[in-house]
Amino acid sequence: MFWHHLLKSFRFSLGRRIRGVPDLSELPSGAVAGLPVPFSGCVRRLWLNWRSVTLNEQNIIAARNINDCDGTACGGDICYNGGSCWLTANNRPMCNCPQQYIGERCEKQVSCVEVGCENNGRCVKHNKEIRCSCPTGWTGPFCNLEVPTGAPHFGGDSFLVVDSQHILTKRGGGELEDFINVEKELNDYVITYLFLNFSTAQHDGMIFWTSQNNEFLGLGIETGFMKIVWGMLGVIKKEILLPGLLVADGTWHTLTMNTSEKGGFPEHQNVIDETFGFFQTPFSGCIKEIAWNEQFTILDFSKFTGENVGSCELIYP
């Protein structure tokens, strides 16, 4: 029913050290091309799994021989979230903050209940937190950052609804048929094939779920391994956890199967309820390409309805 092929990959961890190590002799053989040389330069921003890590006293455990790279009291990261820095008569840095932020360094976010969401975003309650839920093409705390076309990133609260009417790229090149004929062919044809190129570092999450009448089919990750479930509600339920093939390693993997919705469910639908308890959490990671029925592929995901979908090719300031 299913087959899969996983690309060879290497795993690594950051080790919480930036710029260098206390003793360069600790580096493994072959870690650098020549003799190990300490890094000389500046590091302004650090992102881990699409989350910003502020390089301040609260997050830095140990350091030595670190100097200011900006040269003035108004350094590049004095004011957060787009705030502008100015100096008092005593050369003390102060911040002017955008309306969505307050605090000495613009570090505190104002509730979207007070300032609203941009670009048709919705101010909703999610896990006891009130924040903006952004339509496809927009991201950021207030849906104020445009998402470039590319591999979409799912952050655990994201979803995309994929429908056949928007699949207009033919695999392997060649001319596309007239749109009406393509649409009719896809609507009349039962989807039995899918090519998926995905990447994630999360060990649990639902990637796909499709159901019609009482039949269902799902794909996800459990404890770092691929999980496939299918069956008929109330009659038969099957699940397979593929052993020995770790996919939660942050590299790209390929797989073929069947789906209609991907990445998660809309706000009113719960992952646990919709998947009959087979999956506990939504997918967090990237999807680069989907191909249907060995003929048509999706490379541009901007045409589809969804929310809170970012980009895997962009680190936001």
Domain that holds residue 127: 113-146
Residue 265 lies in a domain: yes
Residues 75 and 165 reside in one and the same domain? no
Residue 44 lies in a domain: no
Residues 78 and 157 reside in one and the same domain? no
Residues 140 and 256 reside in one and the same domain? no
Residue 23 lies in a domain: no
Residue 91 lies in a domain: yes
What pLDDT is recorded for position 167? 53
Helix (H) / strand (E) element for 187: namely helix 179-188
Residues 200 and 104 reside in one and the same domain? no
What pLDDT is recorded for position 97? 93
What pLDDT is recorded for position 51? 72
Residue 38 lies in a domain: no
Residues 207 and 300 reside in one and the same domain? yes
Residues 131 and 194 reside in one and the same domain? no
Q: Which of 83, 110, 137 is the last residue of a domain?
A: 110
Residues 221 and 244 reside in one and the same domain? yes
Residue 216 lies in a domain: yes
Amino acid at residue number 284: S
Residues 249 and 290 reside in one and the same domain? yes
Closest CA to 96 of 118, 104, 88: 104
pTM above 0.75, yes or no: no
Residues 238 and 257 reside in one and the same domain? yes
Domain containing residue 138: CATH number: 2.10.25.10
Residue 305 lies in a domain: yes
Number of domains in the chain: 3
Helix (H) / strand (E) element for 272: namely helix 271-274
Cα dist. 155→13, 101, 106, 300, 311 in Å? Answer: 20, 23, 24, 18, 10
Residues 241 and 121 reside in one and the same domain? no
Pairwise CA distance, residues 289 & 19, whole Å: 35
Residues 127 and 210 reside in one and the same domain? no
Residue length, the chain?
317
* Mean pLDDT per 10-residue interval, the chain, length 317 residues: 28 46 69 72 74 75 75 76 88 89 90 89 83 86 81 76 59 46 44 73 84 78 86 74 82 70 56 70 79 69 77 57
CB 61 within 8 A of CB 22: no
Residues 159 and 307 reside in one and the same domain? yes
CB 293 within 8 A of CB 189: yes
What pLDDT is recorded for position 8? 26
Domain containing residue 247: CATH number: 2.60.120.200
Residue 100 lies in a domain: yes
